[in-house]
Chain A
Amino acid sequence: MARYLLIRLMSLGAALVVASGVIFLMIEVTPGDPARFMLGMNAAPETVAALSAQLGLDRPVGLRYLDWITGMLRGDFGLSYTYKVPVAELVADRLALSAPLAALALALSTLIALPAGLYAAARRGRVGDSAVMGLSQLGIAVPNFWFAMLLVLVFALHWRLFPAGGFPGWADPGAGLRVLILPAVALALPQAAILARVLRSALIEELGRDYIRTARAKGASRGRALLRHALRNALIPALTILGMQFSFLLAGAIIIENVFYLPGLGRLIFQAITQRDLIVVESVVMLLVFAVIAVTFLTDLAYAAVDPRLRRRG
């Protein structure tokens, strides 16, 4: 187990180093002066020179990379060019919205997919299965921003159950949560549709295996064979998808946050790109990469928790 952990941790570290290098190179070393790029075509030369100095562009590339990395390790992500505040503060602010949103969406998608997948697998080939799979086909086909607008129309504008957008902050947790529900649903449904399909087919595959027959010969009911035996084995492919979905959730959040006017990370990076605030872009992208790699690591840990073969072999 220690060996397995060590190997996963090392690959996590290596992935971070490579990713940071790629991000740095793309933004800092590509042709053209980042300062000029950030300020636009009509900027005065003095302004460009001032920004260059502020960014430390006159120093060697290697040193700048090291500065960037060590800065991030200290929690210093630099100063946003457009907002004139430390990027760390900006990101922390936005994370207070984006992290709960992603977690809520992930939880929702699991809560929907698990029973749907189990139900469809248990009723495979029958009407219930076809209905669930038809719905999931729809969930995959419909783009989430369109779905988000539909949710706003029905639940916010027509029935007035939830606010249509904006974020009041966490001063009143109930109000904050209410705002996040529609966006979380919009993010979660397509993911749930994919997850339910994967879970169903993994379950059906497991149900055909010999150990299920053994369990049934022991006197286990269909339900017990499904829940106690097949489900745990089917979790391995499902976990893979769940881990990958996290990055889709982050990407999806950029669009959904814009639809609902939520001041989250997605909106921050979107604005930073349009305003050419490279320092913010660089840091937020790095943060997202870190989040995805960390989730992959957690997925690997979850594999080991589920599968004893991974625990012992390392």
Chain B
Amino acid sequence: MSLLALDRLSVTLQGRTILSEVSLSLAPGEILGLVGESGSGKSMTALAVMGLLPEGARVTGSVRLDGREVLGLPEAALNRLRGAEAGMIFQEPMTALNPLMSIGDQVAEVLRIHGRMGRAAALEVARERLDRVGLTAPRFPLSLYPHELSGGQRQRVAIALAIALRPKLLIADEPTTALDVTTQAEVLRLIAGLARDEGMGLMLITHDLAVVAGMADRVAVMQGGRIVETAPTEALFRAPRAPYTHDLLRAATHRPGRVSQGEYLNQEETHAVSSWQKYSKSDDAPLLTVENATRIYRLPRPSAFAPHSELRAVDGVSFTLQPGESLGLVGESGCGKSTLTGAILGLDALQGGAIRLGNHAVGPKMPRAARADVQIVFQDPYGSFNPRQRVERLVAEPFHLTGRPADWRARVAEALREVGLDPADGRRFIHEFSGGQRQRLAIARALIIRPKLIVLDEAVSALDVRVRAQVLDLLAELQARHGLAYLFISHDLSVVHAVTSRCLIMQAGRIVEDGPTEAIFTNPRHDYTRRLLAATPRIPAGWIPKEEPAS
């Protein structure tokens, strides 16, 4: 008998259909990957199982957990079920824990809610569960508060409280999306190990196909509130039946403007010249020179009379970037990427070394006209636009560096056309655009004053795979047309691999490896690069089909 069975589960919220006729099953000890793009209904499916749908949701169909119908259970019965029979882990570890409650109490609360023990006994079990998730005794006392832990450690606490009562079903909703690759690998291993050891059924929700490829027994693909395909993992990757699954797989391994190569795809095209590489002419004078850049932050004194300790956020970084080149900068959170970016944009002063862009020294006092040579596209397509201004004003923003030309409206229209939008969109407001369109607008904004260098700071990290593939294609096309140089900053090695010709690996403020991307990825020299590559989830070689799906 299956542990969890969804039968034609449909959910509508304020007249909008969120889920329609979702049917799924999960056996004890099985790992089911639930994959889809944002808004496809993955999380809603999970919340429906937990009985935690938003107020006002109308639900039909059936959700049976361990043979018992969950839909229509009274609130008190649901409270008894949540945490005891089904545990859930959420995406954002930084906010998932109560900041005012110690981690021991938060784990112990599960045991105490379900009425099985007093505080002392519950804390004892909490200790054991925290040990189990790798937060062991002397270093991680129960009295710690969430703010004293890193993101990965907080996610471990969230896992400990989800498994505190050894539930039969564990739902993990994008449990590692907010984590660095090396942490992600550890947390995924932990979750999979727990599921196997305790014989739990695990529903793993993710947008990342590579994550399910390495973990799940079966995969269900969702689109627009429906399950479009369910199949054993390898079969799904090798022979996707639904056209949508096929699109997703293609997009996940997409290489813009160049023929796919290496272990990801077919070998014979490996030597095809990429349009990205074609423009890197290494004999020209460099466009950007970073020499021994150093940025030190003063930290608070550890005690009242001790000297300030310091954080060398950027520690003697040197590299050059040629006109027209695509350079990748890879590193995990806290490695100094953002500080370095701020310095390259001339927003932050350095404490040592120098940065030159063309003939200008880069720094907070650099002339405005020189600033026009470098533009940036940020990660968050929602937060990086003023919602009260029309798109044409937003796109024309960089003109304050050079003075707004008389034909600025025509220039805006041209920039919009270049990124594949309608010039008429200039009169609209930002909330009328999707995430992918907003990122196109951000690119149009960067492009409008014809910079020589665009810094892409995690510019495609927030986008769904298919949209990401389109935006990467657009970037390749623009680079070919305008001879732009890109500094592509990302934590996502597969994207950097796909779009850059040269790559820097940054760790703790230093560049630990610098070389052609292909060489770094096939033959990493530094130990940290090796660890990063080993931790990156990937779809096994040969799993991706080349041909169109059978209709």
Contacts and interface: CB of A to CB of B under 8 A. Distances in A.
A214 B101 contact: no
Contacts of B109: 215, 218, 220, 228
Interface in B82-117: 82-84, 87-88, 90, 92, 95-102, 109-110, 113-114
Interface in B42-93: 50, 52, 75-76, 79-84, 87-88, 90, 92
A155 B265 CA distance: 87
B120 interface: no
A219 B96 contact: no
Interface string B151-172: 0000000100110100000000
Interface in B104-146: 109-110, 113-114, 145
A309 B52 contact: no
A307 interface: yes
Interface majority SS (helix, strand, loop, mixed), chain A: helix
A46 interface: no
Nearest to A229: B98
Contact of B145 (A211, A214, A224, A309): A309
Nearest to A219: B83
A55 to B, nearest CB: 44
B147 interface: yes
Contacts of B80: 219
Interface residues of A, number: 28
A216 B90 contact: no
Given A213-B52, A309-B145, A312-B148, A218 B98 contact: no
B97 A217 contact: no
Contacts of B95: 209-211
Interface residues of B, number: 35
Contact of B52 (A211, A217, A221, A313): A217
B304 interface: yes
Nearest to A209: B95
B99 A214 contact: no
A214 B145 CA distance: 16
Residue of B84, B97, B99, B158 ringed by the most chain A CB atoms within 10 A: B99
Contact of B147 (A2, A217, A309): A309
A2 B99 CA distance: 21
15 contacts: A209-B95, A213-B52, A214-B98, A215-B109, A218-B109, A219-B113, A221-B75, A222-B75, A229-B98, A229-B101, A232-B101, A233-B98, A306-B100, A312-B147, A314-B300
Interface in A219-241: 219-222, 224, 228-229, 232-233
A298 to B, nearest CB: 19
A32 interface: no
Nearest to A125: B55
Contact of B82 (A210, A217, A232): A217
A314 B300 CA distance: 10
Interface string A139-158: 00000000000000000000
Contacts of A219: 79-84, 110, 113-114
Pairs A-B, 9 closest by C-beta atoms: A219-B83, A210-B95, A218-B83, A219-B82, A217-B88, A308-B145, A211-B98, A218-B110, A210-B96
A214 B88 CA distance: 8
Contacts of A160: none
A214 B161 contact: yes
